[in-house]
Amino acid sequence: MEGIIVSIKYGMYTVESNGVLYNTSPRGLLKFKGKLYVGDKVILDDENFLIIDVFERKSLLKRPPISNIDQILLIFSLKEPDFSYYLAFKYLTYASFNGVNASLVLTKSDKSNEQEIKEIKEVFEKIGVPAYITCSKKDEGLDDIRPLFKEKISVLIGQSGVGKSSLLNAIDESYEREIGEYSLALGRGKHKTKEVILLPYQNGYIADTPGFSSLELEMTKLEVAQYFPSFKGDALECFYSNCLHISEKNCKIKEKLARGDIPQIAYDCYLKLLEEVEKY
């Protein structure tokens, strides 16, 4: 019997198969095949409903730990916490490096102004990254993002307090996800979601995940240069195969920047990411 792991908690695996949930565990020999993840497609035996095998994965993220996803929705609030171009480009680079398509969902539009929202959208749409504007309290923008989830496994990623759980509850009120608060004193949100969980939606799943306080890119400088949003593809056409797009001659990325095809704020975030990464 085939199924999918929808949650893992305290060593117990919850597998959904044909609309039925099974609380189970791996059979002895399977434990030697390595770690299992939420999103893994597995086989249960028909007698004891133990996990006896796991299918090959098409994708795997280490953080949050989840497999077989079709897309990442990067959730950022416009205020509380304030939107960060740097974090947005960092997460987009992470998605690109892992070979998963990503879009931006900006929450709490009621706390921002039209000019700021327009400027943010223009930056990301210029490099081909969709940016959706939402307000869970006012049910705004939700009809634009609901179709994204149809028949896909999607994962929501973002800092604590940006409104992931509020967004999920607004998309489908039956989820009843516990909502955290944003602390003005601490300048960050408080964790409420403790583990990765797949929630069924439109013949697919939406993964709610714990909020990030930080995300380290386990990449080399050259990988950042190749996988940074809007660089992929063009970076391979540079004169030098190991071009970091800083001062090298015949650099395709610097040419795009000079033409205005790459926003200056994006390039500034790229340089900051390069400083963070230690290995060449």
Position 187 scores a pLDDT of: 42
Domain at 37, CATH number:
2.40.50.140
- Of 100-114, 135-149, 191-205, 252-266, the poorest mean pLDDT is in 191-205
- In terms of residues, how long is the chain? 280
Would you state the structure tokens that stand for residue 38, as one six-digit string?
A: 């939420």
Q: Report if residue 216 sits inside a domain.
A: no
Look up the domain containing 143 and give its range.
Answer: 60-208
- Helix, strand or coil, per DSSP, at residue 210: coil
If one compares 18 and 213, the residue with the highest pLDDT of the two is 18
Mark whether 99 and 189 lie in a shared domain.
Answer: yes
Position 8 scores a pLDDT of: 94
Instruction: Indicate the pLDDT class of residue 177, thresholds 50, 70 and 90.
Output: low
Mark whether 200 and 81 lie in a shared domain.
Answer: yes
Q: Report if residue 264 sits inside a domain.
A: yes
| Bond from prior residue into 81 cis (ω within 30 degrees of 0) | yes
Would you state the structure tokens that stand for residue 228, as one six-digit string?
A: 């940074």
In whole angstroms, give the CA distance from residue 193 to residue 178: 7
Mark whether 115 and 153 lie in a shared domain.
Answer: yes
pLDDT digits (tens, 9 = 90+) for 19-76: 999 999 998 766 667 789 999 999 999 888 999 999 999 999 998 999 999 999 999 9
Domain boundary among 184, 208, 232: 208
For the chain, first and last CA: distance in Å? Answer: 46
Query: Which residue from 133, 123, 126 is spatially nearest to 88, judged by alpha carbons?
Result: 123
Q: Spell out the alpha helix ranges (H) of 55-130.
A: 85-97, 114-126
- Helix, strand or coil, per DSSP, at residue 105: strand
Q: Report if residue 214 sits inside a domain.
A: no
Number of domains in the chain: 3
Instruction: Indicate the pLDDT class of residue 230, thresholds 50, 70 and 90.
Output: confident
Mark whether 170 and 77 lie in a shared domain.
Answer: yes
Q: How far is C-alpha 191 from the geometric centre of its chain's CA atoms?
A: 17
**Summary mean pLDDT of the chain:** 88
Would you state the structure tokens that stand for residue 104, as one six-digit string?
A: 């931006």
Query: Which residue from 214, 221, 136 is spatially nearest to 173, judged by alpha carbons?
Result: 136
The structure's pTM equals 0.87
Query: Contact at 8 Å (CB) between 178 and 223?
Result: no
**Across the chain, which distance is largest between two alpha carbons, in Å?**
66
In whole angstroms, give the CA distance from residue 166 to residue 175: 10
Mark whether 143 and 76 lie in a shared domain.
Answer: yes
| Bond from prior residue into 65 cis (ω within 30 degrees of 0) | no
Q: Report if residue 174 sits inside a domain.
A: yes
Q: Report if residue 258 sits inside a domain.
A: yes
- Helix, strand or coil, per DSSP, at residue 73: strand
Q: Report if residue 18 sits inside a domain.
A: yes
In whole angstroms, give the CA distance from residue 60 to residue 102: 14
pLDDT digits (tens, 9 = 90+) for 184-220: 333 443 445 568 999 999 999 999 988 776 788 889 9
Q: Report if residue 187 sits inside a domain.
A: yes
Backbone angles phi, psi at 121, to 5 degrees: -60, -40
Please list, in sequence order, all residues whose beta carbon lies within 8 angstroms of the beta carbon of residue 123, skipping any fewer than 6 positions away: 85, 263, 265, 266
Sequence-ordered strand ranges (E) for the chain: 2-9, 12-17, 20-24, 41-44, 51-54, 60-61, 66-67, 71-77, 101-107, 131-133, 153-157, 182-183, 188-189, 197-201, 204-208
Mark whether 64 and 130 lie in a shared domain.
Answer: yes
